Amino acid sequence: MFATFNPNMDARSKNGSGAASQAPTRHKRNVAARACDRCRANRIKCDEDQPCKQCRVRGLDCCKGRPRPNPGRHSRDLSPSRPGEGQQRAQELPAASMPTPPDSIEASAAMQKPSEQQTKRHWLGFWTPNTNMGEPQYYGPTALKFFIHRVGSHLESNINQPQLSEALQAILPLDQQPAPNSQFQTDEPLTRREEQALLNLFWQSYHSIFPILDEDELRDHYNSLWPASGSSPVEQARRSSALVDIILSLCMQYSSAATGSGASLYERCQRRLRNDVSGPSISALQCHIYSAIYLINTSSFTLAHAALSVAVHIAFALGINHEPPGWVPDSRRRLRRRLWSSLFRLDSLFSLTLGRLHLIRNSDSTLEFFENDHQETTAKITTAPIYEDITWESYHGQTLSLFASIRDISASFHSKCNDIMATNSLTSIYSNPKLLETCASHLRQNVVSLQAWVNAVPSPLRLHRKDSGDTFSAGRSQVEFDALAPLWLQRQRVLLELLYHNTLQCLYRTFIRFPSLDGGPESFGPTLTTTSDSNAVSALNHAIAAIHIIHQTLTETDLFNTWHRAYQYQWEATATIIGFTLARPLCPFTISAKKAINTSILSFDIFASNGIAAAANAAQITRDLSTNAIGNMQNSESPSQDPNSTSFTPQTARQMATEPSQSGYIFESWTAISA
């Protein structure tokens, strides 16, 4: 590889070729024309392989085969001695000898900038002003607020109906600051009997949905807060406890007999948490989780997300995301596992609801989520003896498994959309129908994997149908309630199926497209031959299924009385149906959509009668939209149910947008088509 100095070399060279032929011949070594950087630095033999053998054997990165710079040589070769000579000599150089980018970190970063810019392109949602916090709030593509934003933009831009857009936004208070109930704050504190009655509700409701407590420990803690019998009247009140306060506030939200919303107890819990200087603890973690649930019930999702963020950081500080040491008792191990899995569930819920990044990554935990905890000591209260292999934790495990699958599907779907947008320099997947179809097909193929989860749900947790209808389907079969099952199990069945419909609705809803005034006639007609349109219909079907299940549950049982999460499922499904109807006013599925809207109004009235004030507002606005549309249609001819017989073109849409008398056509067709 390296030449050896010989003092006779010059003499041989002077003698010419003849003298050179007389020199003894030596075997020529098979060496590389140019050694790699590593071999040259270590003065070892290199070869022509790419990578070289030395680097390949050692598993090292070899520079062989990569373009290497030689700016000095090329600068000399290309430096012109006469005007125009440089350009001529540059053209004569072979392509392989042209200058290459420098092999350095800075140059590599510069070379990767275009690709990095492509990978940084994301399918963005939108920012909405927030009057309480002052800063715009971001909502991603799966968020209901993003969908309502798209509906509102369509109403304002294409239909000339800004008042309808404002009406839809008015019943979506996703960032409403919960104000303490001043009347309740002036009331006397709850008696021990009243608190115990609320706690009995807690064991049958929230504890069976989010099992993050040890029941025996909480009972002992609660009893220790009360003074011993015979104490003075001044000492008869219960001592304050952040955990007990937040639990009671949740129960007061749930109990229709409570005299307040529990806001004062919630505020007292928050004050104790802020003033606590003892450091992270299991009790503080439980309080923040319940605080997030309380805020979800008030539709304050951004504040709830912030509370969950604090809970996640406390869990990291306590190492809840890892298996504890061997000296930790089994009951404590199970509690820690349930705490972390509940955080995972809530994080997945917020990611779909708000369209934001996950707080918890799959790589953050070493726990086995789906271990069976049938040995829980609290089974004496919450087990169902007549059902084999079912406890109150079975629901927790199934929701955890469902969210894990939805996470994978959602991540793959958004990654596909981002890649397509980056490759084609798009800012929205809706701007190119062919690429939108590619995204729709990708989502449809991934959703098929959920069938494995459906098949794995045990029969006691399934919400069975009359007439042998399929569970977890978007059919219209009526639900068959099991009156012999415990109330907590009946509620778990309904909530599990509603969660299934809601998650798929969030994903499929992204393919509800709104017609453009600049588009062709096909953008207004009900074309169901594409996967994207099929996904939109799937979103509609899952929304209708949710509305039917909720209405039957409200009318035949007491499971959802004052259950705030069920009301939120109801409104989200209603908004999805309204959006689909606006996007496809002449679609045959609009008939079923209109019937579901009427059913939804009835359910809103029931929720309002049970004390959920927001439901009354939702019912009134939805009823006004439907009634006004019917009134406008009385003086006009109902549109045909056959989409092919209706000439609905961009020109007619522009006329609708410019003539106020015709601007209600979308809602008119929606109402009259199934009158």
Secondary structure, 3-state, 294-359:
HHHHCCEHHHHHHHHHHHHHHHHHHCCCCCCCCCCCHHHHHHHHHHHHHHHHHHHHHHHHHCCCCC
Please indicate, yes or no, whether residues 408 and 279 belong to a single structural domain of this protein. no
The domain boundary, picked from 371, 404, 435, lies at 371
Considering the domain architecture, whether residues 280 and 396 belong to the same structural domain is answered as no
Residue 458 sits in the same domain as residue 397: yes
Choose one of 371, 402, 430: the last residue of a domain: 371
Quick check: is 646 in a domain? Answer: yes
**512 and 592 share one domain:** yes
Domain region containing 610: 392-672
Task: Classify residue 162: in a domain, yes or no.
Answer: no
Check: CB of residue 191 under 8 Å from CB of residue 264: no
- 170 in any annotated domain: no
Which one of 64, 84, 116 terminates a domain? 64
Q: What is the DSSP letter of 127?
A: E
Residue 392: per-residue pLDDT:
82
Whether residues 399 and 280 fall in one domain: no
Let me know whether 510 and 658 are in one domain. Answer: yes
Residues 414 and 320 reside in one and the same domain: no
Q: Structural domain tally of the chain?
A: 3
Specify the pLDDT at position 411. 93
Residue 126 located in a structural domain = no
pTM tops 0.85, yes or no: no
Please report where in the chains the tokens 């009140």 appear, as a residue: 237
Residue 78 located in a structural domain: no
Do residues 356 and 500 share a domain? no
Q: What pLDDT score does 182 carry?
A: 39
Please tell me whether the peptide bond between 233 and the residue prior to it is cis, using omega within 30 degrees of 0: no
pLDDT (0 to 100) of residue 675: 30
Q: Which residues of the chain register pLDDT less than 70?
A: 1-33, 38, 41-43, 57, 59, 64-121, 130-133, 164, 167-188, 229-235, 255-261, 369-388, 516-529, 625-675
Distances (CA, A) of 152 to 161, 167, 478, 633: 9, 9, 33, 22
Residues 309 and 401 in one domain: no
Do 588 and 620 fall within a single domain? yes
- 577 lies in the same domain as 500: yes
Give residue-wise pLDDT tens across range 424-444.
Answer: 888 888 888 899 999 999 999
Instruction: Determine, yes or no, domain membership for 380.
Output: no
Residue 539 falls inside a structural domain: yes
Contact predicate 281/310, CB 8 Å = no
CA 290 to chain centre: 20
Assigned domain for 421 exists = yes
Same domain, 347 and 415: no
